[in-house]
Amino acid sequence: MGKKGKRDKKGKGAEKTLAKMEKKVSRRAKKEEEDLEALIAEFQSLDAKKTQVIESSCPPPSPRLNCSFCAHPDRDELILFGGEYFNGQKTYLYNELYIYHIRKNSWAKLDIPNPPPRRCAHQAAVVPTAGGQLWIFGGEFASPNGEQFYHYKDLWVLHLATKTWEQIKAPGGPSGRSGHRMVACKRQLIIFGGFHESARDFIYYNDVYTFNLDSFTWSKLAPAGIGPAPRSGCQMTPTPEGNIIIYGGYSKQRIKKDVDKGTLHTDMFLLKAEGTGKEEDRWSWSRLSPSGVKPSPRSGFAVAAAPNNRCLLFGGVQDEEEEESIEGDFFNDIYFYDIGKNRWFPAQLKGPKSERRKRRRGRQAEAEAAGGEELQLPPPQGPLEIVKEVVAEDGTVMTIKQVIPGAAGDKDRSGSEEEEEEEEEEGGALGQPVEPCPRSSAMVAVKHGVLYVYGGMFEVGDRQVTLSDLHSIDLHRMDQWKVLLEMDPKTQEWLEESESDEEEDDDVEGAEGGEEEDDESSEEDSEDEEGEQQHPAVQPGEAQAQYLARTEQYWLGLARSHMGPEAKDKKVLKVAHAMAKTFYEDPI
């Protein structure tokens, strides 16, 4: 009883501290948000001029981050909404709605009157009600210079059958926030965590709210037990029984004036409903201790529901701050969590069937040629980890890490032999599995058991590269990635801070985020000029050469360390080419 009483007192003290901090942040943020409300209202007045629903074929969306990416409940379509883009000087916000047609591998832009205001870092969930509904809550709007923030607390629904937006106004909902998580579970939306940030202060949340999709009412839960610490960007997964699983996430604390310390959370919790799905259900927190191989600590990972009662985690970044450098390890790996078995395990690519059959035939032929003697095979190859360090002009060291999984079911097969057979099969051309490059903040969706990965970002020094490529992989077969849309990061603009002497009207233009593209009176040529103005190509020079980091000795060294000193030089060179091609458009 004594220990329990101490825990209760500690919990109540933490709640009081959190309440005080929330009031403090709210007071300081109020002035900032009042300034931005006028700008948001101006953008909404522009959106109000749209009176018709217009769906038109279009090029793929421009690069953007922190948008929502959901699968249509009935059609073979993926729905992308909102997002942001930063070019080194300005922040562009969007409220555009794009539809990706899976069968056609094509994009369409859907203009619907009275959409939600421009935002990023919101959450979206799809339910099959009435031909499909896309629900959106929260998110943030940023000033063009990225120094002021407005956090939304509004709730919207897109009726997919009628193509109409509707704002749902119901009292008692969560406070304004971004970076939260929201899932649909048994006729209700469940929201957890997130953060609110002003120019000087920030606060992270660990509260839980539900929104009933039948009565359109909010409820704040008060679960029993000890739950997760406040955080944002975590994994939130509903179970078939109506429970919720929370894993990981990120938060930061102010340890002294102007010094913040970030935390990568790796703990896991179960939020269990003690009842039959009614509003008056009692909920309780409990800690999970999963078996298997957990993902390495990271933030910025993407999550999605997977077949066979599993969920998946893709990519992310692990930042390590040191005195004179910031190192970021970016990932492109996939981890599965088996909900029924409470077990993590990394995904393994099996390779196409034709290649697996050829490998088996090759091994049989080698055994016969050896005159029946036992064939000595190389030891099993595990996942191949490629690490790249780039040193920026200011001395900042950036580490980019890529993990290439070993082929499951062919563990007796060396990577160099695979490359040799693939080369013979393709008539001398080097064959290399295509994978998304390492990244964080990717957008993912699953439809018919296929995972789609759109965009994301990685950093090189102070430069942020925002991606807009699209890849897919069949989660049942796990054979190979498919490239649906390519992107060359070298074509993306990046403006240094020293070049930021802009006029005020330019700032407004940047905050609008592509408003010129919405002008129907613009001709195709003028649209092309706009695109060049917003995303001009990077000019060649020392910075670009540094960014590419293309050295033959570097990749040869990596290949040699992976294959061992006994490997033949010819095979080492082939693997080095394959490694380099993973990152660059051309092999070394």
- Determine which of 64-73, 107-116, 488-497, 552-561 has the lowest per-residue pLDDT on average: 552-561
- Determine which of 59-73, 386-400, 401-415, 538-552 has the lowest per-residue pLDDT on average: 538-552
pLDDT at 300: 96
- Determine which of 68-72, 102-106, 130-134, 319-323 has the lowest per-residue pLDDT on average: 319-323
Q: Structure pTM?
A: 0.72
Pairing of β 291-292 and β 343-346: parallel
- Determine which of 128-137, 355-364, 464-473 has the lowest per-residue pLDDT on average: 355-364
- Determine which of 159-173, 326-340, 440-454 has the lowest per-residue pLDDT on average: 326-340
Residue 565 has pLDDT above 60, yes or no: no
pLDDT at 463: 87
- Determine which of 21-35, 98-112, 293-307, 394-408 has the lowest per-residue pLDDT on average: 394-408
Report the C-alpha gap between 268 and 287 in whole angstroms: 6
Report the C-alpha gap between 390 and 548 in whole angstroms: 8
Question: How confident is the model over 314-336, as a mean pLDDT?
Answer: 82
Q: How far is CA 562 from CA 416, 458, 575, in A?
A: 10, 25, 9
User: Vertex 151, ends 129 and 281: CA angle to 5°?
Assistant: 45
- Residue 468: band (very low, low, confident or very high) from pLDDT cuts 50, 70, 90: very high
Instruction: Return the DSSP state at 535.
Output: S
Q: Find out whether 207 and 233 touch, Cβ atoms under 8 Å.
A: no
pLDDT tens digits, 149-160: 999 999 999 999
pLDDT at 194: 97
Question: How confident is the model over 113-120, as a mean pLDDT?
Answer: 95
Domains and CATH numbers, the chain: 26-350+436-490 (2.120.10.80), 544-585 (no CATH)
What SS3 string covers 227-296?
A: CCCCCECCEEEECCCCCEEEEEEEEEEEEECCEEEEEEEEEEEEEEEECCCCCCCEEEEEECCCEECCCC
pLDDT tens digits, 511-542: 545 444 444 444 444 444 433 334 333 333 44
Report the C-alpha gap between 56 and 34 in whole angstroms: 36
pLDDT at 24: 55
Residue 431 has pLDDT above 60, yes or no: no
Report the C-alpha gap between 11 and 565 in whole angstroms: 58
- Residue 197: band (very low, low, confident or very high) from pLDDT cuts 50, 70, 90: confident
- Residue given tokens 């922040």 in the structure block: 91
Question: Which phi-psi region, left, alpha or beta, contains residue 130 (left: φ > 0; alpha: ψ -120 to 50)?
Answer: left
User: Pick the residue with more confidence: 564 or 390?
Assistant: 564
Question: How confident is the model over 500-518, as a mean pLDDT?
Answer: 45
Residue 120 has pLDDT above 90, yes or no: yes
- Residue 549: band (very low, low, confident or very high) from pLDDT cuts 50, 70, 90: very low
Residue 249 has pLDDT above 50, yes or no: yes
Please report, to the nearest 10 degrees, the dihedral formed by the alpha carbons of residues 236, 468, 440, 541 taken in order: -170
Residue 473 has pLDDT above 50, yes or no: yes
